[in-house]
Structure 1
């Protein structure tokens, strides 16, 4: 290079190399001073397809405001949601569980692709919560989850109703106990506004579990959707992420084995959804924490069920909020020695420190029972095993009068066929109704069975018919139902070889799920069996080929390590 050329030649610094990146961000509103701040994402699940998420756009703005006020540069981005309540009982329900992993993958993609320094994730409908937490666990960047909150209860004839009332109303109409106009009135009054389904169903269960994990701020899970408290929640979450960055506290500092034990404890005490087992297993997998069905079994035996919440009880999440909320329940459990108080949380403080200055349950409230007067002395989510479910199955037994049943199997390969059989009176007292090929691979997507279980309740068969499936149940389901049977039918689990008329025993006390057929007979039946073809294209095809067993959380990245030889040239 000549001397004349040297004066116009410069070494390009890293800062100057970033000029194109900054140019793009200037177009979305960044100023010079913003480039000196941490970029903090707000993962919004806003959507008009469900009341659970209809208000989250405004909550995301509140979180961005909190981020900016704390000293960060907030950037809102969106991900998807599927409304379980709307897709229930249709082919669309097959997309519900896969949506959990699409949410996780999409958040990971944006946060990783844009090199964000941390993020707030705001979720509403059922799969939003675990999807957000899986992404938070994978990325291990400072992050806070904020719940969109629960819907107000509907009102009809002076009584509280909700979405489950509608499903059960279909069964009541089929049984002739209500007429078409009464069913229409239930439909019109069940969902009065924004927010997730009101009982201790999957959304509220997972929100409570996440608060117990320490990944959301105290009160986030029980503050109502349509309230000033919820907007404050989300603003505070934005500020909290900034402070986590300052302190270099990351999700895996919080998501320890003891934190998961706290989450399971709160789910058992509140009588939460069976889906919590599936989702907590998946979150733990993402966080690289070893969690197994046996952990749920152990905690179930020592944690009492103390919450009189729907679907088996009388009250909804808003009632729990008025009674003191999830923090007050956790304070009670901590005092009884049932929680690990030394677990770190997103406040930068421990569970015990967070709860110290918060209020106890209100005097005279009726939602939460004293430990000494628990609804059950142990938890209502039980793991069953037996020759019908060698890897396990799960049931929710809160409110059950009949704890066991032995009866003839009536077997269906689709929920639609089984529903028709229930509606036309083919299913009678004492039957064990089996719906198979509805597992993670076989569904595909492990659809929920709230529609058929609600119809069974509405027809008055909830205590006299057992319903078994390798699919799932909604958090709104109650009755003698067992889901997550593993291995599933699609991979040759024993549920694939049940014949009509086989005797089956379901016993929630002895944790037994037994098919009364010899091993020799089962082996013979398997030799004559061919699995159905999987879906061949699209997201469900990809899901079916990557998803694990329900007993391992139905995760999509549980791969065997394959050593690939490296060619050296």
Structure 2
């Protein structure tokens, strides 16, 4: 049996003071000798994503005890995109992912616990928890805590993304306040994450593909009997992992990341999965280039499901058809089935229990919905590192756009410009200063995209931004997460109104068609600016507090936007 790092030698100061604390909590000496498992809980009453986690944490703690372990619940920040995007120009969203990882490190490493059960819910919890697991490398099981039940409005399906899109339509006068209010009252019928193929469900399923969650556990309805079965099984397994000394870095191998990218492409998953998987790879010190994997595999992976809003099927139908495990079974030979998983078995061994594809909601690999990629990475003179485009599942899609730039420094100015008729059909709306450094924390660019849809300009106006987009955006030609970002000296900072921008998704390029000499002149002018490519608003560039720490230490998106200050000149 593995010696537990949490067991201190009797008579020492750490043993004595900890024993005094824990005896006062009602623990016995026998309890204190058991494997000590952190139950990572991001509970919060601010959002439905997290409102159910306390009950789940209690079930996990009981299961840890049944398996011979001692469970300790620890808390982290609990960011919800729809709630926490209100302040800091949206910078508290992505930055909270890294805060989660450091919350976990401080609690688990400080207390020298032995393993973890991580209760993943909204978008940033799963990647933040995986980042911590990869960094501290303690036996860990991830648990997806489920999607929310949705409602109906005026006889039609209505979920939270419909409300988000409806707000864009209302901003353009195409949806009444009464209807928007009715949608908001009916969209969410229970706790859990957004019910679609957004970032949360995508990352829950990525956990399974990485081998860090139990097979067949994602997606799942929040608070359902199946979810609680999975929670208890994961908690029991965490205790076994400590005894077996099976750790995240044993599982988070290059083959595991390739499996996760393959699954994401086959599902037309959230584009946010790219930077999150890269961040996990960085923390695992795996040497994996996740961006390169998306480019390499894009044309090889068949599209096997079309879950709302990518297609007509609901997440409930996808869940009933077998979920991630069934898709992975369909992918078969395109996965590294010899990759180890948290069960102690290989991917291939786990998938023997998966149900076969039903042929409708989940397709067989030889009868896919399509073979075109829906997550496309572009490069070019406007995006020398990368930009990301989410395309429609439908083969009939727009593949190119060329037009004059209309530049805005923040989403609210862009919305005002749309309302004022400044943006016309044929324009390329450029929204900059929203990258990880520029916001700081990476601002959300989705509101102008949805407002374009509300104005009937989808497909008639392209968007280029260094900000992040909703994991569900796939409307028109939208190039997001352009890197290098404007605040890091990227070409996006040089764009002026009227410049011609050309986007070609067939050749996967995004180019700024301005002579080099003119760009050099603009670059010299910007060199004298203290914060080129940013809006300079006090709220977005806090001189103190968490966002200022984030801005000083965040790495580029190609490194997952992890926090890791390096010596000047270190350009790894």
TM-score in same-fold range (> 0.5): yes
Match for residue 553 of structure 1 among 543, 560, 571: 560
Structure number with larger C-alpha Rg: 1
What's the CA shift string for 1:151-193, capped at 9, x where partnerless? 1122123322211111221233344443222121111111111
Q: Distance in 2 between matches of 1:108 and 1:403?
A: 44
Task: Report SS of the residue matched to 2:551.
Answer: helix
Give the match for residue 492 of structure 1: 489
Give the match for residue 309 of structure 1: 307
Give aligned pairs, total.
547
Q: Does 1:410 align with 2:406?
A: yes
Give the match for residue 196 of structure 2: 199
Q: Does 1:16 align with 2:11?
A: yes
Alignment CA distance shift 1:318-1:302 (3 Å): same
Give the match for residue 368 of structure 1: 362
Alignment CA distance shift 1:459-1:306 (3 Å): farther
Q: Does 1:474 align with 2:470?
A: yes
Q: Distance in 2 between matches of 1:89 and 1:466?
A: 25
Q: Is the 8 A contact 2:95 2:550 kept in 1?
A: yes
Give the match for residue 48 of structure 1: 45
> CA shift at 1:222, angstroms?
0.8
Task: Report SS of the residue matched to 1:15.
Answer: coil
> CA shift at 1:221, angstroms?
2.1
Give the match for residue 300 of structure 1: 298
Match for residue 34 of structure 2 among 31, 37, 46: 37
Q: Does 1:243 align with 2:237?
A: no
Q: Distance in 1 between matches of 2:365 and 2:80?
A: 35
What's the CA shift string for 1:122-179, capped at 9, x where partnerless? 1211000100000000011111111111111221233222111112212333444432
Q: Does 1:378 align with 2:372?
A: yes
Q: Distance in 1 between matches of 2:353 and 2:161?
A: 36
Q: Distance in 1 between matches of 2:209 and 2:143?
A: 13
Q: Does 1:116 align with 2:123?
A: no
Q: Distance in 2 between matches of 1:216 and 1:379?
A: 26
Give the match for residue 449 of structure 2: 453
Q: Is the 8 A contact 1:408 1:431 kept in 2?
A: yes
Q: Distance in 2 between matches of 1:508 and 1:90?
A: 34
Q: Is the 8 A contact 1:144 1:237 kept in 2?
A: yes
Q: Is the 8 A contact 2:330 2:363 kept in 1?
A: no
Q: Does 1:438 align with 2:427?
A: no
Q: Distance in 1 between matches of 2:569 and 2:510?
A: 36
1:210-289 equivalences under 5 Å are 210-289=207-286
Q: Is the 8 A contact 2:89 2:439 kept in 1?
A: no
What's the CA shift string for 1:467-487, capped at 9, x where partnerless? 111111110222221111111
Q: Distance in 2 between matches of 1:228 and 1:361?
A: 23
Alignment CA distance shift 1:505-1:436 (3 Å): same
Give the match for residue 329 of structure 2: 331
Q: Is the 8 A contact 1:53 1:123 kept in 2?
A: no
Gapped regions of structure 1 (runs ≥ 5): 1-12, 564-569
Task: Report SS of the residue matched to 2:384.
Answer: strand
Give the match for residue 397 of structure 1: 391
Q: Distance in 2 between matches of 1:352 and 1:560?
A: 43
Q: Is the 8 A contact 2:85 2:91 kept in 1?
A: no
Q: Does 1:128 align with 2:125?
A: yes
Q: Is the 8 A contact 1:89 1:451 kept in 2?
A: no
Q: Is the 8 A contact 1:270 1:305 kept in 2?
A: yes
Which stretch of the first structure deviates more once superposed, 503-512 or 103-112? Answer: 503-512
Which stretch of the first structure deviates more once superposed, 180-189 or 206-215? Answer: 180-189
> CA shift at 1:338, angstroms?
1.1
> CA shift at 1:88, angstroms?
4.3
Q: Is the 8 A contact 1:164 1:454 kept in 2?
A: no
Q: Is the 8 A contact 2:398 2:459 kept in 1?
A: yes
Gapped regions of structure 2 (runs ≥ 5): 1-7
> CA shift at 1:369, angstroms?
3.1
What's the CA shift string for 1:274-331, capped at 9, x where partnerless? 1111000000000011122222100112112221112232223222101111111111
Give the match for residue 73 of structure 1: 70
Task: Report SS of the residue matched to 1:46.
Answer: coil
Given the two structures, how large is their TM-score scaled by the length of structure 1?
Answer: 0.93
Q: Distance in 2 between matches of 1:171 and 1:35?
A: 55
> CA shift at 1:90, angstroms?
5.6
Alignment CA distance shift 1:370-1:158 (3 Å): farther
Q: Distance in 2 between matches of 1:407 and 1:115?
A: 57
Q: Distance in 1 between matches of 2:488 and 2:361?
A: 43
Q: Is the 8 A contact 2:85 2:92 kept in 1?
A: no
Give the match for residue 351 of structure 2: 355
Q: Distance in 2 between matches of 1:175 and 1:395?
A: 24
Q: Distance in 2 between matches of 1:484 and 1:180?
A: 32
Which stretch of the first structure deviates more once superposed, 453-462 or 481-490? Answer: 453-462
Which stretch of the first structure deviates more once superposed, 351-360 or 166-175? Answer: 166-175
Match for residue 425 of structure 1 among 421, 428, 433: 421
Which stretch of the first structure deviates more once superposed, 161-170 or 254-263? Answer: 161-170
The alignment yields a C-alpha RMSD, in angstroms, of 1.8
